[in-house]
A and B are shown apart, each in its own frame.
Chain A
Amino acid sequence: MSLNLIYHFQSSQNQNEHFMPPNYRVIYFFSENGMLDRAFLQEMSKSVPDADHMNLSFSNLEDLKVFALRVCLDLAKKEVRLISAQDYNIGIDGATDQKSYKNIFDKYGELAINTSFKKKGLLSKLFS
């Protein structure tokens, strides 16, 4: 029922005399059915006007969360777990099989809950 997002944090740096602000770039965003479509994610990222929509890059963690929850809302998912590449790597270091690998997201991911999510009852499922 949940989504998972792995992001890469790049701290601010000077490049060719240009100052590059820090950014949080989405590397992988997936549900239990597989990777989410990039064009769909780019469209969703427009909910954060300051984001780099093409590269799915955000200037702070709050904006990344807003985006992730917007995707959650659109896909009617209950929650999304956000995990940095560094934490994902720590998880990989300790994982030994499929089960422990899948646990990385529960163990290290930061949970963001879609408060608008309502679990469908049997009747609503039948009539939807």
Chain B
Amino acid sequence: MTYEENIKKFDVVRPGEQWFLYWNTSAALWETRIQEIPQNEIVFIPIYWGLHGVSLSEWDFGSTRPECDLLRLVHLLTRYGRSFCWIIPLTPSPFLPNGGVPTFAARSLSISYDGVHLAVFDQEMNFNKMYSYFEPKVFQSFSQFLKGFGHFLSTNQIHAPVWGSEFYFYHNGRRYSFLEDHSISFDQGFSRFLKKNNPLGVELSDQLHEFSLKENFQNEVALLFEATAETALAPFWKGSQKITCLGSSPEETIQRSLAGGKSQLDYTKDLFEHYVNSEWISSVLLTPVEKKGLLTSILKEHYGTFAIEKRYNLSPFKKNMSNEFSPYGVIDIFGGRRELINNKIGLTSYLDKFFPWLYQIQERVDFTSEWIDSNQHKIKIFQGKELDRTTFAQILKLFLMGQKVLINRSEMGEGFEKKIQIFLIENNIKVQNVNFMTFTQVCELGEGRLILFEANKLIENNHKEKYWDHIFQYLHLTQPEIKMDQDVFTLWRIRATSEDELSYLDVRRLNIYNPTSYKKSVKIKTHKHFALMKMIDPNRANAKSTPEGVDIEILPQGKIALDFGHYEES
């Protein structure tokens, strides 16, 4: 398909993740476009707040310009029975001209950590420059806009939920907020912040101290934008989401301007990295050419309606497995993101090798009964130095409930150390002390396992992966073993069995993708616990059953899915 053919099929109004970019088409076409949206899809409407700005005190929601007529948009959505949510940007938005900032407030261009202006190509290769949110006039305009928007919602009795969004770009394994800015506007704001908090003056000779103060200032400003939005839109406010926009880093802007662009392989790598880090993404910036082929399938299969509704808490949390496939992982890691990225203790490299994309790094424990039940099977790894009293108590409860929990006790507070020892004695729990590479305590109670280890002692050890090998062998994870060529990507999903599948415990679907330009092979060993049930939608791929499991050959840009029945474990 040529670029021209591809672009004709591409939808700039609904470019991805169920977003509806109302400013990208004439208001006269909204009705037709809304009718095209599948009935079951919830429509997300990001607000281009700069578009509605006439002046600091005047905001147009349709009184003058038809393209700003949000009331008409709402009426159309309601008439055609579509549910919708608003998205309010809490940082500069890479998919909007000026980052969304109204022209009368856009004064100072944002500067990245590298010293270059933040500018992004959108899905039509328009060049969007980001303006600093640290410019006082931006905050004044934002507050005035929110006041106007809140008034618009309540006057017209529009009760649709409102979500705030912080936008990020991804570079070298790290997420950077579009709020982050190194321009003069930031510096001026920072000096005001310092003067306010230190009326007697502050010495900034230590660079680390300065970085930390700057980080505090940025966090305060982020909170200020969020709190202002929450207050102004309180009855409709649902919370905020962090969204990483694919293709939006300064390096990607350069790459995307070049003839070769950014490869499907690189986008796939980013996407799987975000998956592991439980980060929500947006693909709205990608052009039709960038999005063609495999990337579209991955986005549809793993970032489609099911994932969206789960992310925005729009579908009820199910205690038990349903008949629909849902994401499946075996390990959750809480905290220690920076250390994990550096792979200091060898955990991530081990998991990447033996449990690829079967683990996720989580920000916090969502200690609800639904969460506990649906994640019963997962091994949970915690960083002792990041624990608070609540999480600590929750960890012990998980262990008592029969779950498998690991705590890295390096730099853990002395208080928690004592509490653990008291807990073990009080509950008469059998403890095994193991000295292998580092000191490890293994505690058993029924099905429950609590493993305490000192990760710092692994840092200097060149064979640290062996340690993890022993730990995971002991924890006995029942999972098919996959041997695959480099740059093949896999994701597992799980569902409950149907009436004619009662000989299985559950059904697991493995999606396999080859975004490279080379033929690849994958071997799956089912280890007597899994039976191949069927092959789904093979595209440039084929699979054959072997006595050990399944052998797959997958051509460039090919994909295949396999369903496995999980047998009763003997």
Contact = CB atoms under 8 A, between A and B. Distances in A.
B127 A8 contact: no
Contact size class for A?
Answer: 20 to 34
A16 B254 contact: no
Interface in A89-118: 89, 92-93, 95-98, 100-102
B547 interface: no
B260 A89 contact: no
Contact of B207 (A16, A30, A101): A16
Contacts of B205: 15-16
Interface string A20-46: 000000011010111100000000000
B284 interface: no
A37 B253 CA distance: 17
A68 interface: no
Interface in A51-101: 85, 88-89, 92-93, 95-98, 100-101
A98 B256 CA distance: 9
Nearest to B256: A98
Nearest to A100: B127
Contacts of A88: 116-117
A125 B253 CA distance: 33
Contact of B125 (A30, A33, A85, A97): A97
Contact of A96 (B111, B127, B207, B258): B127
B260 A85 contact: no
Interface of B is mostly: mixed
A93 B98 CA distance: 11
A27 B126 contact: no
B199 interface: no
Interface of A is mostly: mixed
Interface in B110-156: 111, 114-117, 119, 121, 125-127, 129
Give the one of B126, B127, B254, B260 with max A CB within 10 A.
Answer: B254
Contacts of A100: 127
A102 B116 contact: no
A27 B257 contact: no
A100 B257 CA distance: 10
B255 A34 contact: yes
Contacts of B253: 101
Given A85-B116, A92-B129, A34 B260 contact: yes
Nearest to B172: A38
A70 B172 CA distance: 26
Nearest to B208: A16
Given A27-B116, A88-B116, A89-B109, A98 B254 contact: no
Given A32-B258, A35-B255, A92-B119, 6 more contacts: A34-B260, A85-B116, A89-B117, A93-B129, A97-B125, A101-B257
Interface of A: 6, 8, 15-16, 27-28, 30, 32-35, 85, 88-89, 92-93, 95-98, 100-102
A-B CB proximity, top 3 nearest? A85-B115, A92-B117, A89-B117
